[in-house]
Amino acid sequence: MKLRSLFVAFAASAFSVSAFSLDLELSPYKPVRAPISGKLKSVGSDTMLHEMELWAEGFKAFYPSVQIEIEGKGSNTAPPALLSGESQLGPMSRQMTPDEIAAFEAKFGYKPTAVLVAVDALAIYVHKDNPLQCVTMEQIERVFSADPKSGGGKSIHAWGEFGLKGEWADKPIAMYSRNVLSGTYKYFRQNALGGADFKPDVHMESGSEAVVRAVASDASAVGYSGIGYKTDGVRAVPVAASAGKTCYDTSFDSAYTRKYPLARGLYVYLLKSPKAALDTLSGEFVKYILSSDGQTQAKKGGYYPITRNIREHELTRLGLLASAQ
């Protein structure tokens, strides 16, 4: 399977387990003999901030002289940082837009390179005491959207509208979202709200952790954030594609088969000319991320690792496979 089809699969459509092997037996990172030093800067996704920190820590254990600076204010900050030369790495929890890609082509004459580094299930979080067992994509839209197209255009305002009884019936829903700099915000708006605006009373938070923390402290709350930010104070509610369909949780299998409707890829964008090899420092860092060492860190951060199929496609495309064996 071509890498582009893997990207498209996570961005837009379902793919089956039979489409490619879910082989997770990855090779360990093979450090180079010559000492490596230098600086890398990463600017981008807040969702991936902790992950990038774990990868940087693991990589520096091999190369103590390397300096890695990480800034995670949102995926929207990655393209301009790469474009200006401020950073070499642009982690994003969404794919770049056509306009963002066009800006790169206009300046450099080639497109930026996206590397699929992990898989996330964008979770719908409620307070740990909330008894809601399942939510549909239509219901999610009606909760968050200022102009819902489903349900006859009728918004959902109270937990009783989900069928909850007793003290929950009249409890109003408090909504928490990422802010506009976030790739998670843009992904959710496009895939859950059909591109519509959020309700004006949705609380916008600057970080993924802040969304989860707000939901954990408010029994009436609902919010969305990466599965890597799950805590004991919240529950990730299973999601169904539509009414009457099966609800799927945020598990590895549900995410990789796209049965969970809000599964997505996580990416690191690079500037790589098709006429030149990737610089040694960036190349070794990417090889580390895609190794069993790096993907162990991905799991430690709460996300799902890539498969051997994906790793080999990525390394081949970057011209790094032979040196990573």
36: in domain: yes
- Please say which residue of 199, 228, 254 terminates a domain: 254
pLDDT-wise least confident of 20-34, 93-107, 229-243, 276-290: 20-34
Return the pLDDT at 3: 39
Mean pLDDT of the chain: 91
Q: What is the mean pLDDT of residues 238-257?
A: 95
292: in domain: yes
Percent of the chain with pLDDT over 70: 93
Domain carrying residue 238: 123-254
- The answer to whether residue 322 scores a pLDDT higher than 90 is no
Return the pLDDT at 96: 96
Q: What is the mean pLDDT of residues 68-85?
A: 96
Domain count, the chain: 2
Q: Kindly tell me the sign of the dihedral angle through the C-alpha atoms of 88, 184, 290, 64.
A: positive
- Please say which residue of 231, 254, 277 terminates a domain: 254
308: in domain: yes
CATH for 308 = 3.40.190.10
- The answer to whether residue 4 scores a pLDDT higher than 50 is no
Q: What is the mean pLDDT of residues 50-59?
A: 96
The reply to whether 8 and 111 lie within a common domain is yes
Q: What is the mean pLDDT of residues 275-285?
A: 95
- Alpha-carbon distance of 122 to 225, in angstroms, equals 6
50: in domain: yes
259: in domain: no
Return the pLDDT at 34: 85
Question: To the nearest 10°, the Cα dihedral for 266, 204, 231, 171?
Answer: -130
CA distance readout (Å), 74 to 44, 117, 181: 5, 17, 5
Return the pLDDT at 180: 93
The reply to whether 107 and 211 lie within a common domain is no
Question: To the nearest 10°, the Cα dihedral for 84, 86, 90, 91?
Answer: -140
- Alpha-carbon distance of 223 to 234, in angstroms, equals 10
DSSP assignment string, 9-71: HHHT----GGGS-----PPPP---SS---EEEEEEE-STTHHHHHHHHHHHHHH-TTEEEEEE
- Please say which residue of 236, 254, 272 terminates a domain: 254
Distance of CA 204 to the CA centre of its chain: 18
- The answer to whether residue 17 scores a pLDDT higher than 80 is no
188: in domain: yes
The reply to whether 183 and 142 lie within a common domain is yes
Return the pLDDT at 324: 76
Return the pLDDT at 6: 47
The reply to whether 129 and 243 lie within a common domain is yes
pLDDT digits (tens, 9 = 90+) for 153-181: 999 999 999 999 999 999 999 999 999 99
The reply to whether 82 and 196 lie within a common domain is no
**pTM of the predicted model as reported, rounded to 2 decimal places:** 0.89
The reply to whether 130 and 245 lie within a common domain is yes
The reply to whether 128 and 164 lie within a common domain is yes
The reply to whether 240 and 271 lie within a common domain is no
- The answer to whether residue 307 scores a pLDDT higher than 80 is yes
- The answer to whether residue 8 scores a pLDDT higher than 70 is no
The reply to whether 157 and 109 lie within a common domain is no
Q: What is the mean pLDDT of residues 245-263?
A: 95
pLDDT digits (tens, 9 = 90+) for 177-223: 999 999 999 999 999 999 999 999 999 999 999 999 999 999 999 99
pLDDT digits (tens, 9 = 90+) for 137-152: 999 999 999 999 999 9
In 3D, which of 279, 174, 171 has the Cα closest to residue 221? 174
Return the pLDDT at 21: 52
Return the pLDDT at 22: 64
DSSP assignment string, 75-103: GGGHHHHHHHTS-SBEEESSPPPHHHHHH
Which pair of tokens denotes residue 233? Answer: 């104070």
The reply to whether 105 and 200 lie within a common domain is no
247: in domain: yes
Return the pLDDT at 323: 82
The reply to whether 224 and 127 lie within a common domain is yes
